[in-house]
Amino acid sequence: MVYKRFSIGISVRVILITLCLFTGVWLYFRQNLLLAPAVITLIILGLIVELIHYVNSVNQKLARFLDSIRYGDFSSSFTSDSKMGNSFKEVNFAFNEVMEVFKQTRAEKEEQMLFLQVIIQHINTGIISFNAEGKIGVINNAAKQLLQIPQFRNISDLGRLSPTLLKEVLEMKPGQRTSYKVSPSLFLIVQSTSLKMGGQSWTLLSLQNINAELQSNELEAWQNLTKVLRHEIMNSITPISSLVESLRTILDEDSFVQQEGMLIKKDGFQDIQEGLDTIANRSKGLVNFVNAYRDYTNIPEPKKEWIKAKTLIEDVLGLIKEELKSKEVFVKTEFRPEELEILCDPDQINMILINLIKNASESMLKKADRQVIIRVISQGDLGTLIQVEDNGPGIVPEALERIFVPFYTTKKTGSGIGLAISRQIMNLHRGSLTVESEPDVRTVFTLNFR
């Protein structure tokens, strides 16, 4: 309706100008009049000026409306010009309504931003954002308390706390997670995310101090280890102590003093022999246990290098080829992609894979179809997975987590530290070792290299 009235207004003014123009020409050429055409010419000029003003008024309103949107100034209001009549009341009303909607939307957005800022400042996780130039955008109170860096305005200032931590943060890929011990009281878990805002690329870091949790877990681990040590030592020392007392009794009761020396009965001598053999066996078991504990607590730092996944797996299978053949275990390998490379210590990862494949082959001895599947899968920025899957009897849910506890084993023979050492090696690689199992269907051990 508004645009119809605007069109009618333009048409009327153009018609009036045209009529005046023809009238002036007719009076001048047909009637030979001079004054009347001159007056009509002035009227035409006035109509043209009025038409220009009429159109410019609309353009000015529209330009002011668009500028208000462009610069975010929603305080403007639009009123009808008395010279233009009532034809643009509706457009002024529409402009004012749109401005009000923008004003409300902006107010809601500002409220949401304020709400998010309050949340960010009050959460316990440290939050830092910085752009490609390193300029800090957002840093919350938790991050300030964790890092204790005065005048933290650029990510390079993180080097004042730890140059190594700064280097790791700058080398992190989106979605990557890393851990770093800054001081005895500060052990950080850092996660990186990328986003675009205002036409700029930003990196968002979340920082969390897990020192308290680590200390709690460390205390619990020491308590569990103490229980294991006490259990194993008592299992060995108690029967040894009891046997010593029994042997002393046998010597007192079954031995006789003679001039040439001591005489002992045959039965007593056999009992002493059996007792000494038992003491020797229990002592040997205790020594083996101590050696296993020493192996678990003395794993060296990994010497990482880039190696093709295919080469890594082929080396492992070459070492245990004959053992797998004797147990009639078929191994299938999958590489996604084929030329995938892994940053790791090949010797340590070989040890993990050999342990996992041997465990898998031993678990399937009672099955007719024995198959182990080894998959190496790239997850892009999220890292690389090596999976060892078997179709053996599986692991019951109650034992899934306990199998990684040192000296816990479900086998009749074995020290129970193979999986514990494997997990510790993966922790030293800043990765993880996990297991999933469906009893009588499949068991999958996953090495995750981040």
Q: Is pLDDT of 169 > 80?
A: yes
Q: Are 104 and 196 found together in one domain?
A: no
Residue 412 half-sphere exposure toward CB, CA atoms < 13 A? 2
In the block, tokens 């078991």 appear at 285
* Predicted local distance difference test score (pLDDT) of residue 83: 47
Report for 90-94, 331-335, 422-426: range of highest mean pLDDT = 331-335
The answer as to whether 117 is a domain residue is no
Cis peptide before 150 (omega within 30 of 0): no
pLDDT band, residue 444 (cuts 50/70/90): very high
Q: Is pLDDT of 367 > 70?
A: yes
The answer as to whether 115 is a domain residue is no
Of 67, 85, 109, the domain-final residue:
109
The answer as to whether 339 is a domain residue is yes
The count of domains in the chain is 4
Of 80, 109, 138, the domain-final residue:
109
Q: Are 228 and 350 found together in one domain?
A: no
pLDDT tens sequence across 224-281: 667 766 766 776 676 677 777 777 777 777 666 666 666 666 676 777 777 777 777 7
* Predicted local distance difference test score (pLDDT) of residue 386: 93
Least confident window among 87-91, 135-139, 434-438: 87-91
Average pLDDT over residues 435-439: 88
pLDDT tens sequence across 175-202: 888 888 887 778 888 888 888 877 788 8
In the block, tokens 């569990």 appear at 224
Average pLDDT over residues 306-321: 88
Q: Are 183 and 245 found together in one domain?
A: no
The answer as to whether 66 is a domain residue is yes
Q: Are 133 and 196 found together in one domain?
A: yes
Higher-pLDDT residue of 342 and 289 is: 342
Q: Are 409 and 319 found together in one domain?
A: yes
Strands (E), 210-281: 255-257, 262-264
What is the C-alpha separation between 235 and 88, in angstroms, rounded? Answer: 99
Q: Are 101 and 127 found together in one domain?
A: no
* Predicted local distance difference test score (pLDDT) of residue 374: 92
The answer as to whether 118 is a domain residue is no
Strands (E), 317-383: 330-336, 341-344, 371-378
What is the C-alpha separation between 29 and 34, in angstroms, rounded? Answer: 10
Q: Are 287 and 342 found together in one domain?
A: no
pLDDT tens sequence across 285-295: 667 666 666 66
Q: Is pLDDT of 84 > 80?
A: no
Least confident window among 50-59, 122-131, 342-351, 407-416: 407-416
Q: Are 387 and 337 found together in one domain?
A: yes
Angle between helix 211-254 and helix 266-297 axes, rounded to 10 deg? 170
The answer as to whether 274 is a domain residue is yes
The answer as to whether 197 is a domain residue is yes
Of 191, 209, 227, the domain-final residue:
209
pLDDT tens sequence across 69-83: 666 665 666 665 544
The answer as to whether 114 is a domain residue is no
What residue numbers bound the domain in which 76 lies? 2-109
Average pLDDT over residues 82-97: 59
- Whether the predicted model's global pTM rises above the 0.95 cut: no
Q: Are 162 and 197 found together in one domain?
A: yes
- What Å distances lie between residue 77 and 14, 63, 74, 81, 143, CA to CA? 31, 13, 8, 13, 44
Q: Are 316 and 440 found together in one domain?
A: yes
Average pLDDT over residues 42-63: 74
Q: Are 24 and 85 found together in one domain?
A: yes
- Assign residue 345 the CATH number of its domain: 3.30.565.10
User: What percentage of the chain has pLDDT greater than the value 90?
Assistant: 7
User: What percentage of the chain has pLDDT greater than the value 70?
Assistant: 74
Q: Are 191 and 205 found together in one domain?
A: yes
* Predicted local distance difference test score (pLDDT) of residue 318: 82
In the block, tokens 């457009």 appear at 91
Contact between 224 and 405 (Cβ < 8 Å): yes
- Assign residue 251 the CATH number of its domain: 1.10.287
